[in-house]
Structure 1
Amino acid sequence: MASKTLQMFSLFCSVLFLQLHFSAGQSAVQSAYWFPDSGIEAEDIDSTLFTHLFCAFADLDANSNQVTVSSSNSGPFSQFTQTVQQKNPNVKTLLSIGGGNSDTTAFASMASQASSRKSFIDSSIKLARNYGFHGLDLDWEYPETAAHMSNLRLLFNEWRAAVAADAKATGKPALLLTAAVYYAPRVNGVDYPIQAIANGLDWINLMAYDFYDPTRSQVTNSHAALYDPAGQVSGDYGVGAWIKAGLGSKKLVLGLPFYGYAWRLVNANNHGLYAPANGAVGPESGAMGFNQIRNFITQNNAPVVYNATVVTNYCYSGTTWIGYDGTRTVSTKVSYAKQKRLLGYFAWHVAADENWALSKAAKQAWGA
């Protein structure tokens, strides 16, 4: 009886710890991702514009299931927190693991067994502590089956328990845990583990962009529309779907793309939204950073249009049409996030900004 009472007390303390951890919460998240080859050094980031910065990406070793950092990234990653805190001592940093170019099968394999999940979790915490990060971010794009999602649920639960144990053992604040996820709670026909996200993560970053690009659409379009009058492909739909699925709004952080896509118009005189197009301008998918888009506008004296129906900017010159998020679009989206009582916003990625115009617009729109 005494041992059972002790177990119940221990369970109560664990639950209370988690409740206290989350109740402290975050007043707001104004964040962005950075990576070493992005175009700017970490020391050049104006960290006063952010509450949190994500350092991308750590890797998952498919053989050991451990989180690793490449030799070329070890230096800048290990110094990242110290570097960005020189301008803003209060900014929090998170080490992001994975990314869009990572091997999704490696994540699926890691999450499938308790031993490999433990290897991932333990190594991630050790790496974060050794490098001075305040948290960890999982960017698995994307789980593909119900089994993947079930294993993701276990991973989140076990990660949270390990982080709590680490905080207790070290006496340090618990590491933040976040994940970059699909814009809606259902991807590849399967649902994210809502309860595990609510219990295990401090928040999730909704990747509310890349809905379209010139390689997948024969008409010009906003790749990050806030609204979709004709359907469900929008940031607003994603936010509503996550909340409807049972996740609180304070667990949601809205994604802002600091880049756009360049379409090639079929007819230079038909240059509106949903105009016929036949591929990308430039390499691969036609992706362009906001700084590059601003240069294009200046060099070509390109007209700039703001569409309030879907909330997007676009510009055009000749047969080139570029859809993107300008300062007005960013301000509108951030105001939306605040009105919806979301936790905040994040940007991919900080180096694509131009003289901090988008970052400043976002911070001003959020306000105090």
Structure 2
Amino acid sequence: MAAAADNGLMVCYYGSWAVYRQGNGKFDVEAIDPAICTHLVFGFAGLGSDNKIKAKRCNFASQIFLSSIVLDPYNELCENWGKCAYNRFNALKEQNADLVTILAMSSSSSTRKTFVDSSIEMLKAHKFDGLDMDWEYPTQRGGKPEDKVNFISLLSDLSTALHANNMILTAAVSAGKLTIDPAYDIPGMAKNLDIMNLMAYDLHGAWDPYTHHQSGLYQYPDDTGDNVYLNQDFAVNYWIDGGMPSTKIALGVPLYGRCWKLDYSTEENGYYAPASQPGPAGPYTRSPGFLGYNEICEFQKKESDWVVEIAPGMNEPYTYSYKHERIWCSYDDHDSCIKKASYAKSKNLAGMMVWSIETDDFHGICGRPFDLIKTLRETFSGGDIPTPPTPPTTPSTTTDPSAPTKPTTVPTTSPAPPPPDGVCQKPGINADPDNCHHYYLCSLNANDKYEATEEKCAEGTLFNPNADICDWANSVCAIGGICPNDCA
């Protein structure tokens, strides 16, 4: 299987938890346009205690990948009232024969053979074309120095097994020098990966006490210290200089903004303006310090007081509104996507990557639907997005008339689940109103009875019942009115 399209990659991550969002933010599998991406990555799967891959749900709404990994068989699997999201996701290939579908795997060290074997089994069962590794990050956050070697061993075993089954191996990796150096054996990764998705975003955010662009293409002129490393150009060159072929790198662009509340002590509103609190949560993503591009453009369309500027020497916009809780957001728009895709082309990269498809303007409220993704792909390829081929019709064959018939389409609805029972108010994610350090995953067994699994949030995080994710504790407590026992 070819890892790249002839005119460049357009890798689109899909955050499956967007199905739980409200109003115009709700995004299920069927909202995906299968023509605009060359590779679709379903986020996420994870490891069970037995080191076997499992269907899981997690959050990427902070600077680091939070270890808030939640089993979500209700959304992703068909069994026991499930919504079959994996199968419906891969059914998109019926509309685009060239589409490559990949399952993203959040990971830590594990028993490799058990993990590899279970991964192949699951990918085959749901007709995925490959696996994306998202270990953030080897040797970091409780890891061990030897994990740098362990990661390459895992990639080697996965690469061998996947390629033997005509599948591909990709990985999402850091753009930060201070993470790259201890975490990655770049030549070893280059040997085993088909595509490397460079997460060139979240370089700044509300964890900084000042404003800055989270995904600047180049260094801001006033940057000093470690901030001089926090830009896309540095990251791309650092990976290439370290031994990663440019033709394996997909440059990541965020389809969301990082946001702060400007401090009241000053009227500064450019880069490095004092801002000690995260910006208010949006109506769809509902996570402080984070707004989807769809939320930002809708605010700007409806409210005239939003100011949009580009800092001297930079290519990306930032926007602020004093009426909207003094919010300040750095983000990417149509024009900055053109510049980043043009840059990637000039560096002979494999193509582009986005996190994530469900926060583009997919309804077309502010312009054409999925404008940022389409702009990245059109600019990199130098032409219009081609009309995708459809799979050939399978010729009819003679079958046993007495054999049971199978459904030709994947079910999109399920019978109504049982009524609430104990901690389980519904299938899927359930908050504990008295304790935000954990939550419950509720699934239905073969007898249609709820089974609850306790999932703990990582240290420094709390469960945000508004967004159904574990997020930074200060961001959750900034919402107000939730987690009273943990935010006092």
State the TM bucket, normalised to the shorter chain.
0.7 to 0.9
TM-score (norm 1): 0.83
In structure 1, how many angstroms separate the alpha carbons of the residues matched to 2:96 and 2:180? 40
Compute the displacement of 1:274 (Å). 2.1
| Structure 1 equivalent of residue 292 of structure 2 | 289
How many percent of aligned residue pairs carry the same amino acid? Answer: 31
| Partner-residue secondary structure (3-state), 1:309 | coil
Aligned mate of 1:65, from 51, 55, 62? 51
Name whichever structure is richer in helix by fraction.
1
Gaps in structure 2 of 5+ consecutive residues? 19-25, 56-71, 78-83, 282-286, 365-369, 383-488
3-state SS in 2 of match to 1:120: helix
Larger Rg over CA atoms:
2
Number of the residue aligned with 2:230:
233
**Counterpart check, 1:202 vs 2:204:** no
Runs ≥4 residues deviating over 6 A = none
Q: Displacement of 1:85 after TM fit?
A: 2.3
Q: Distance in 2 between matches of 1:317 and 1:297?
A: 9
Query: Counterpart in 2 of 1:193?
Result: 185
How big is the shift at 1:279?
Answer: 1.1
Deviates more, 1:344-353 or 1:303-312: 303-312
Aligned to 1:277: 275
Partner Cα separation in structure 2 for residue 189 and residue 201 of structure 1: 18
Q: Counterpart amino acid of 1:217?
A: D
Cα separation, partners in 2 of 1:192 and 1:342, compared to 1, 3 Å = same
Q: d(CA) in 2 for partners of 1:278 and 1:298?
A: 27
Deviation for aligned residue 1:163: 2.1
Within the candidate set 328, 331, 335, 2:338 is matched to 331
Is residue 174–residue 180 contact of structure 2 (8 Å, CA) maintained in 1?
no
In structure 1, C-alpha distance between the alignment counterparts of 2:160 and 2:321, rounded to whole Å: 54
Q: Which residue of 2 aligns with 1:303?
A: 307
Q: Please say if residues 143 and 188 of structure 1, whose CA atoms lie closer than 8 Å, have aligned partners that are also in contact.
A: no
Aligned residue number for residue 6 of structure 1: none
Q: RMSD of the TM alignment (CA)? A: 2.0
| Secondary structure class of the residue paired with 2:276 | strand
Instruction: Tell me, yes or no, if the aligned pair for 1:226 and 1:235 is still in contact at 8 Å.
Output: yes
In 1, are the aligned partners of 2:9 and 2:350 still within 8 Å (CA)? Answer: yes
Contact 2:176 2:230 in 1 (8 A): no
Q: Which amino acid aligns with 2:211?
A: T
Letter in 1 for 2:87: S
1:90 aligns to what? Answer: 98
Q: Which residue of 2 aligns with 1:35?
A: 15
The TM-score with structure 2 as length reference comes to 0.63
1:178 is displaced (CA, Å) by: 0.3
CA drift at 1:339: 0.8
Contact 2:177–2:229 (CA under 8 A) maintained in structure 1: no
Paired with 2:278 and 2:183, the residues of 1 have a C-alpha distance of: 32
Distance 2:378 2:310 in 1: 19
Superposition deviation, residue 212 in structure 1: 1.4
Paired residues for 1:1-368 under 5 Å: 26-27=5-6, 28-38=8-18, 39-61=26-48, 63-69=49-55, 70-72=72-74, 73-74=76-77, 75-82=84-91, 84-98=92-106, 107-108=108-109, 110=110, 116-144=111-139, 145-165=144-164, 167=165, 174-184=166-176, 187=179, 190-214=182-206, 216-228=207-219, 229=221, 230=223, 231-267=228-264, 269-283=267-281, 285-301=288-304, 302-307=306-311, 309-318=313-322, 319-354=326-361, 355=364, 356-368=370-382
Structure 1 unmatched runs, 5+: 1-20, 99-103, 111-115, 168-173
Q: 2:176–2:229: 8 Å Cα contact kept in structure 1?
A: no
Shift, 1:25, TM fit: 5.5
* CA shift for structure 1 position 35: 2.7
